[in-house]
Amino acid sequence: MKRMIAVVLALALLLGGVRGVTAMEMEQVTSDTLYVRQVEGMGEDFILGADVSSLLAEEASGVVYRDFAGQPQDMLKVLADNGVNYVRVRVWVDPFDKDGRGYGGGSYTAATAAEIGARAAKYGLKLLVDFHYSDFWADPSKQMVPKAWAGLSVQAKAERIKAYTAESLQLIRDAGADVGMVQIGNETNNGICGESYFDDMAVLYQAGAQAVRDFDPEILIVIHYSEPSLGHADVAEDLVHSGVDYDVFATSYYPFWHGTLEDLRESLVAVAERTGKRVMVAETQWIYTDADGDGSGNSAGPGSGYESIYPFTVQGQSREIRDVAATVASVDKGIGVFYWEAGWIPVPGEDWVERSAKWERFGSGWAASYAGEYDPNDAGRYYGGSACDNMALFDFAGNPLESLKTFALLRTGNYVPPVADALDAVSVTLGVGESVALPDTVPVVFTDGSQDQREVVWNDDEIQAVSTKTPGKFVVHGRAEGFEALCYVDVAENNYLINGSFEEEDRSMWTITAIASGDQADFQVKSADAYSGEVSLHFWNGAAVEWRCEQTVTDLPDGAWRVSVKGQGGDVGNDADIHLYVISDGQTYTAPMILRGWADWQEAVLEHIPCASGTLTVGVYVRCQGGGWGTFDDFLLNPEK
């Protein structure tokens, strides 16, 4: 019987009986304040989606969403009325402990996706079902197998995935949802369903994909990775070669973590050109306020420096949505964008205790304590509320933000006279011992994204608190144009050596001299073996080595100097001689470097080095037995105060 209903519904879909509200039919959305640059060439079918996974848990916790008239309204209708045409819902297999208590994050199963999807369909919103194939969050850091599937072989897991996907889709469609896309896994860069070998992953992807194809060939099958990368094209191609039948390669794109719009575009273009697959952004979001609404820390916010990408304002959020949509639309095969968690706002409550009780009971926080049994190291420790209430499209009280209108205004643009929107943060790097000087002006950012300089008044007490005696970081606030100004002050160690950490590609100022024969030392690019950055001075040889590496600096002011270097390594033998040295005014000064093992960084220091000539040579010397190894990093040369 259920099958009959599905067939009838599928027929109705084919005949165009159920379809989204088009831009023409939608009541005209207008804004007196929002500046939206038109996205040219964005088709009517371009997906402007929102992830609404937290909706039911939020409602159960007492959250009320409102429309622009201030009236309580179904959040899904408010989204649809403002240009959103698709929703996305995450689905977990069994996000409950043995007593039936939810893990949180909505504790979503196929049944909840069915409920949200059916409601969304009433407003013409299509549904993207986001199968994690896990009992809780799946992302690049974890892809845990569902409890009930633990210990199964890859083939057995594939069977389970196929059956589970088919049953879930049937349930979701029977409820009345308009399923347009299905994700086979979530941010599966490093694995899926507990498997991390690519060949095994391909078997699981194909199991899910096959279930979707068999269920309805019209549904688009989506593979989803995090963080745009040129490597996505390799993966997308490998999937094809491995026989994975899919339609869309999607990426997450969080501008505060994932590089520039150009990086995003290059990644999407590479996938599209090499595979012909459609591409989209499955998750993106931006910060509209530096406030935290529920006392549960947010994943991105104040003090981060991210405000230089877009201001932490409603207009900044709108610009981010517009720019990501425009970037995807500029790619031939770009089909759309989903905003992540449009409505995950604070649950009502006098204080943290009251809110926390709701997160635990209704799963309206990112994790409940009950998730600890399944995910002890993350959810089990840090369970709490919404980590993105400062990035939702509704304010803390449930009122829609003006930025929500962006979706409806993208195709036409909305050109109101630009006004000042925020100040861009500025940053200053000072050397140890330098006097504190901050800029007289700061950039004001206008609603159209343009900038101009304005005079700023800094907080005197905060300037006084900046100490340059030792390295450190400070934030100084100020006022300009009626906005709060921010200056990040970084007091850094000066370095009279050039490229002391080897990160710059030109390392010609360093001279490596081999005293023994054969390979002695080189510059190695490997962050695990570097003290800072990713490049270090490295040695290893099966035979005994003897070498030095040094740099000579000239025109130094008269005075006493301090030199230091970091080192790690081992197996150098009892007769090894490894030391830091300085040659100044014809004298050589040395300090031994003892290597104590991998990643156990030691420091060699030379102090009170006089230098009258203004010329000084700094280096390391290594003589050790075969099999000895190590790296040196972060040479520092500074005058003593």
Q: Does 296 bind Ca ion (CB under 5 A)?
A: yes
Give the range of 43-51, 206-214, 287-295, 619-627 binding Ca ion by CB under 5 A: 287-295
Return d(Cα 438, Cα 456) in angstroms, integer.
10
Q: How far is the CB of 103 from Ca ion (least distance, A)?
A: 18
Q: How far is CA 169 from CA 176, 177, 215, 411, in A?
A: 11, 10, 8, 33
Q: Are 286 and 316 in contact (CB under 8 A)?
A: yes
Return d(Cα 474, Cα 467) in angstroms, integer.
9
Give the range of 39-47, 293-301, 489-497, 502-510 binding Ca ion by CB under 5 A: 293-301
Interacting residues of 617 by C-beta distance below 8 A, sequence separation 6+: 550, 551, 552, 553, 582, 583, 584
Give the range of 211-219, 271-279, 295-303, 469-477 binding Ca ion by CB under 5 A: 295-303
Residues that bind Ca ion (rule: CB under 5 A) add up to a total of: 6
Identity of the residue numbered 498? I
CB nearer to Ca ion: pick between 96 and 312: 312
Q: How far is the CB of 389 from Ca ion (least distance, A)?
A: 4
CB nearer to Ca ion: pick between 264 and 345: 345
CB nearer to Ca ion: pick between 391 and 595: 391
Q: Give the three-state DSSP class for 60.
A: helix
Q: How far is the CB of 88 from Ca ion (least distance, A)?
A: 21
Q: Which ranges in 287-369 belong to alpha helices (H)?
A: 314-329, 352-362
Return d(Cα 62, Cα 39) in angstroms, integer.
37
Residue 519: count other Cβ atoms within 10 Å of its Cβ: 14
CB nearer to Ca ion: pick between 117 and 346: 346
Q: How far is the CB of 292 from Ca ion (least distance, A)?
A: 5
Q: How far is the CB of 459 from Ca ion (least distance, A)?
A: 27
Computed over its alpha carbons, how large is the radius of gyration of the chain?
29
Task: Specify the residue for token string 């690519």.
Answer: 198
Q: List the 420-423 sheet strands across, edge first.
A: 420-423, 441-446, 451-455
Distance, CA of 199 to chain centre: 26
Q: How far is the CB of 314 from Ca ion (least distance, A)?
A: 18
CB nearer to Ca ion: pick between 53 and 296: 296
Return d(Cα 155, Cα 161) in angstroms, integer.
10
Give the range of 215-223, 247-255, 296-304, 553-561 binding Ca ion by CB under 5 A: 296-304
The tokens describing 297, both together, are 């820390």
State which of positions 549-588 bind Ca ion (CB under 5 A).
none
CB nearer to Ca ion: pick between 85 and 386: 386
Catalytic residue among 58, 187, 227, 266: 187
Interacting residues of 416 by C-beta distance below 8 A, sequence separation 6+: 31, 32, 33, 34, 35, 447
Query: Of residues 81, 115, 195, 292, which one binds Ca ion by CB under 5 A?
Result: 292
* HEC secondary structure over 249-291: EEEECCCCCCCCHHHHHHHHHHHHHHHCCEEEEEEECCCCCCC
State which of positions 380-399 bind Ca ion (CB under 5 A).
386, 389
Q: Does 298 bind Ca ion (CB under 5 A)?
A: yes
* Torsion of Cα atoms, 171 then 176 then 179 then 184, to 10°: -20
Give the range of 74-82, 160-168, 286-294, 574-582 binding Ca ion by CB under 5 A: 286-294
Q: Does 58 bind Ca ion (CB under 5 A)?
A: no
Q: Does 294 bind Ca ion (CB under 5 A)?
A: yes
Whether 373 is catalytic: no
CB nearer to Ca ion: pick between 294 and 633: 294
- What are 548's strand-pairing partners? 513, 621
CA atoms within 13 A on the CB side of 366: 22
Distance, CA of 444 to chain centre: 26
DSSP H or E segment with residue 248: strand 248-252
Return d(Cα 40, Cα 348) in angstroms, integer.
41
Angle of helix 198-215 versus helix 154-174 axis, rounded to 10: 30
Q: How far is the CB of 397 from Ca ion (least distance, A)?
A: 15
Q: How far is the CB of 428 from Ca ion (least distance, A)?
A: 30
Give the range of 176-184, 254-262, 289-297, 580-588 binding Ca ion by CB under 5 A: 289-297
Residue 354 φ then ψ, to 5°: -65, -40
CB nearer to Ca ion: pick between 294 and 320: 294
Q: How far is the CB of 293 from Ca ion (least distance, A)?
A: 6
CB nearer to Ca ion: pick between 367 and 618: 367
* HEC secondary structure over 528-571: HHCCCCCEEEEEECCCCEEEEEEEEECCCCCEEEEEEEEEEEEC
Q: How far is the CB of 629 from Ca ion (least distance, A)?
A: 46
Catalytic residue among 58, 195, 283, 307: 283
CB nearer to Ca ion: pick between 32 and 351: 351
Q: Does 341 bind Ca ion (CB under 5 A)?
A: no
Q: Does 356 bind Ca ion (CB under 5 A)?
A: no
Q: Does 54 bind Ca ion (CB under 5 A)?
A: no
Whether 283 is catalytic: yes
CB nearer to Ca ion: pick between 359 and 510: 359
Q: How far is the CB of 105 from Ca ion (least distance, A)?
A: 14
- What are 89's strand-pairing partners? 129
- What are 631's strand-pairing partners? 538, 568
Q: Which residues bind Ca ion (CB under 5 A)?
A: 292, 294, 296, 298, 386, 389
Active site members: 187, 283
